[in-house]
Amino acid sequence: GAGVSQTPSNKVTEKGKYVELRCDPISGHTALYWYRQSLGQGPEFLIYFQGTGAADDSGLPNDRFFAVRPEGSVSTLKIQRTERGDSAVYLCASSLNTGLSPLHFGNGTRLTVT
C-alpha cells in the first residue's frame, strides 16, 4: 500500500520567502508528526496532530512556523520569512494512534534557503 508521501522532495528558496511543505499520511492514520533533521543529527520534533487539531506544537522554533491539518488527513507545514538556518530536511510521519504505535515516515522535503 501507499506510504507517507511528501512533496516537494526538494525545495530551494530565497531568504525571506514563504514556503509550504505538504504531507500525505497513510490512509486511516489519525496521528501525524512533523520533524526537522539537520545533517548528521537526529530528527527534531516540531508538531504533532491528533485528527485535525495540533495536540502538541511545542517544537515549533518560532512564530514563523505554522502547520495545519484541516480535514484530519493531509497536512501542510508553512514557513514564513525563511532564514538560512531553516535549511534542513523536513520529515513527516503518521501512525495509527499515539503512544505505542510505530511511526511511518516519508522521505522528507529537503529545504534549502539561499
Partner 1 sequence: SQQGEEDPQALSIQEGENATMNCSYKTSINNLQWYRQNSGRGLVHLILIRSNEREKHSGRLRVTLDTSKKSSSLLITASRAADTASYFCATDLQGAQKLVFGQGTRLTINP
Q: Is 103 exposed, middle or buried (0-12, 13-18, 19+ CB in 10 A)?
A: middle
Closest residue by Cα to residue 33 from 81, 79, 97, 82: 97
80 close to 67: Cβ distance less than 8 angstroms: no
Closest residue by Cα to residue 63 from 85, 76, 78, 51: 78
In this chain, which of 30, 45, 66, 76 binds partner 1, going by CB under 8 A?
A: 45
Residue 34, interface with partner 1 (CB under 8 A)?
no
Residue 65, interface with partner 1 (CB under 8 A)?
no
With contacts defined by CB under 8 A, name the span among 17-25, 49-57, 67-75, 80-88 that binds partner 1. Answer: 49-57
- Site of grid cell 485528527: 51
With contacts defined by CB under 8 A, name the span among 16-24, 38-46, 64-72, 79-87 that binds partner 1. Answer: 38-46
In this chain, which of 41, 52, 80, 114 binds partner 1, going by CB under 8 A?
A: 41
Provide, rounded to whole angstroms, the least separation between the CB of residue 99 and partner 1. 6
